Structure 1
Amino acid sequence: MNELTFIFQRFNWLSALDLFLVTLVFFGVLLLVRDTQAMVLLRGVLLLVVALSLLTSLVSLPAFSWLIQTIAPTLVLAIPVIFAPEIRRGLERLGRAGSPAAIFWQQSEKDVSTMRETIQAVVSACARLSARQHGALIILQRGDSLQEYIRTGVRLNAKVTPELLLQIFYPNTPLHDGAAIIVRDQVAAAACVMPLSASGILNRSPERQMGLRHRAALGTSEATDAIAVVVSEETGSISIAHGGRMIRRLDSERLENILMAFYQPPPKTSSLSDWFRRNRKPPAFREDIER
């Protein structure tokens, strides 16, 4: 009690700032590894550190304490190696958050009309593919360039229409296996190879039979700021992925509302709270992410 009283007597605003910064660092680390396989590893590391700290502080073990103190600095080098993918993903998000929401259509009347036509074509195609239970993966480019993925597919550079998307994803055709990437109002390429997700969200889902299309959609949303729309071949359900999150079982009306929300012009920010509000997920992604 005397020690606690002594600590509180020395507590001032600098101590509060110090605790706040330490808490902020831990919060940032947890945010980086959230919904990834690294979360389990981090939990194990924290339990091990706590157990070793208690053991060395409660019991007098000079040799063991010396060993722990000697090994501890190596964690500074080990942590970046172990959590390299999560750190890279977090820095990419930070870099994207520093700039206005990138929208490939400048907001003139003609470009807004083009945007709506493209989204309506995608929604119409997804509804018809869902009714026929034809699998599909459609990627809509936003701020990050997808050229490295476009090069893995077959270049089309054709105007987006429902009929074109239906033909691309018709079963057993040469272009149906892979993703169709849309840039502005054109299908830039089809049969593109996209990165698979390193997240544990799909593994924890009650429906674990989701295949490579869903994993590629989630992986693309983790690696870029693109929007991925998936139609399940088994059930015909429509899903959308963005920012490492996925919403499933959408109808055509809700899909259109979500896509339109993504391509609204960003509001002018005048304060820090507005900046955080702008960089949050759209309302649809804050409801029930994994349902």
Structure 2
Amino acid sequence: MPFSNYFANFTFLDYLSNVLDIVLVWFVVYKLLMVIRGTKAVQLLKGIFVIVMIRSVSGLLGLNTLSWIMEQALTWGFLAVIIIFQPEVRRALEQLGRGRIFSRNVMQEDEEQRRMIEALTKSVSYMAKRRIGALISIEKETGMNDYIETGIPMHSYISSELLINIFIPNTPLHDGAVVIQKNQIAAAACYLPLSESPFISKELGTRHRAALGVSEVTDSITIVVSEETGAVSVTKNGDLYRELSSEEFKKLLEHELLKVAESDDSSNRWSWRGKKSDG
């Protein structure tokens, strides 16, 4: 049967149902990818892709033994996946039962962001008063996995007590940056790229240069607490905003992470761009 004749007897409803079928399949695949993003299952998918490619190439080249081995790996791999990734599979099924795979709980995410902001504000205020040096980078749209891999994995719930404890001098994790990813402390003692800008003030140290450096290559928000002065600074998009008060710091995070709309009243309008440093 010629391929051109396959669609000859299709009605409009047939076309519509096929298109809807394809769209729904892609939607399900996309949502599943969002569920496993950032987990060990991502590496598994890469491995499966490599096996499929080897299976296809070996079949074309007539490498029968290799092709058979890859075929067996794919045939029995599904069972192995269920056994190895049993916790991830269970978590995905639990989320499906709660209806969280196909719908984002915006209110819950907003509440998590607010808890993170409160923890950051409390910990930064504590460290600033006691001149405890700190460097914290918050991932936004641009992935920071390259920098997370340079540190010590934590994947911990964010609390002010934990953040303070990490940066206490002479502790194993205090030297380096904390990277926050998806409202969790992904890793500590991470290395961030230093800015090579010649316009940076000589009075700024390595933490500020690292904060500026990562802000030049990502859209992250990076917080610096000076060990010498206790001053709180923030970098974003290659700009440095220095000597922020606790109130300004909290409003900054709310503005950037919660996208709080500015008040129509100009007297109540607050813009952290007014604190921008020249270097």
**TM tier relative to shorter chain:** 0.5 to 0.7
Q: Do 2:177 and 2:189's aligned partners in 1 also have CA atoms closer than 8 Å?
A: yes
Q: Do 1:195 and 1:216's aligned partners in 2 also have CA atoms closer than 8 Å?
A: yes
Q: SS in structure 2 opposite 1:249?
A: coil
Question: Aligned partner of 2:129: which letter?
Answer: A
1:285 equivalent in alignment to 2:279: no
**Which of structures 1 and 2 has the bigger CA Rg?**
2
1:52 matched to which residue of 2?
A: none
For normalisation by structure 2, the TM-score amounts to 0.57
- 1:150 deviates by 0.3
Partner residue of 1:159 out of 157, 172, 189: 157
Partner residue of 1:248 out of 216, 230, 242: 242
Gaps of 5+ in 2: 1-103, 262-269
1:261 matched to which residue of 2?
A: 255
1:69 matched to which residue of 2?
A: none
- 1:265 deviates by 4.4
Measured in 2, the distance between the counterparts of 1:266 and 1:175 equals 33
Partner residue of 1:137 out of 135, 138, 161: 135
Question: Aligned partner of 1:195: which letter?
Answer: P
1:175 matched to which residue of 2?
A: 173
Measured in 2, the distance between the counterparts of 1:115 and 1:163 equals 17
Q: Do 1:141 and 1:181's aligned partners in 2 also have CA atoms closer than 8 Å?
A: yes
Q: Do 2:242 and 2:276's aligned partners in 1 also have CA atoms closer than 8 Å?
A: no
Question: 1:107-256 alignment to 2 at 5 Å?
Answer: 108-202=106-200, 205=201, 208-256=202-250
Q: Do 1:239 and 1:247's aligned partners in 2 also have CA atoms closer than 8 Å?
A: yes
Measured in 1, the distance between the counterparts of 2:211 and 2:272 equals 17
- 1:107 deviates by 7.2
- 1:199 deviates by 1.6
Q: Do 1:217 and 1:230's aligned partners in 2 also have CA atoms closer than 8 Å?
A: yes
For normalisation by structure 1, the TM-score amounts to 0.55
Cα pair distance change 1:114/1:162, threshold 3 Å: same
Highest RCO, 1 vs 2 (Cα 8 Å, sep ≥ 6): 1
Measured in 2, the distance between the counterparts of 1:107 and 1:264 equals 15
Q: Do 2:212 and 2:238's aligned partners in 1 also have CA atoms closer than 8 Å?
A: yes
Deviation string for 1:73-112 (max 9, x for gaps)?
xxxxxxxxxxxxxxxxxxxxxxxxxxxxxxxxx6711111
Measured in 2, the distance between the counterparts of 1:167 and 1:215 equals 23
Q: SS in structure 1 opposite 2:143?
A: coil
- 1:244 deviates by 0.4
Q: SS in structure 2 opposite 1:138?
A: strand
1:275 matched to which residue of 2?
A: none
Deviation string for 1:28-66 (max 9, x for gaps)?
xxxxxxxxxxxxxxxxxxxxxxxxxxxxxxxxxxxxxxx
- 1:201 deviates by 3.0
Measured in 2, the distance between the counterparts of 1:107 and 1:287 equals 34
Measured in 1, the distance between the counterparts of 2:117 and 2:247 equals 11
Measured in 1, the distance between the counterparts of 2:241 and 2:204 equals 13
Measured in 2, the distance between the counterparts of 1:221 and 1:249 equals 18
Q: SS in structure 2 opposite 1:137?
A: strand
The RMSD of aligned alpha carbons is: 1.9
Measured in 2, the distance between the counterparts of 1:263 and 1:187 equals 16
Cα pair distance change 1:107/1:254, threshold 3 Å: farther
Corresponding pairs, count: 168
Q: Do 1:115 and 1:184's aligned partners in 2 also have CA atoms closer than 8 Å?
A: no
Q: Do 1:137 and 1:231's aligned partners in 2 also have CA atoms closer than 8 Å?
A: yes
Q: SS in structure 2 opposite 1:152?
A: coil
Question: Aligned partner of 1:114: which letter?
Answer: E
- 1:266 deviates by 9.2
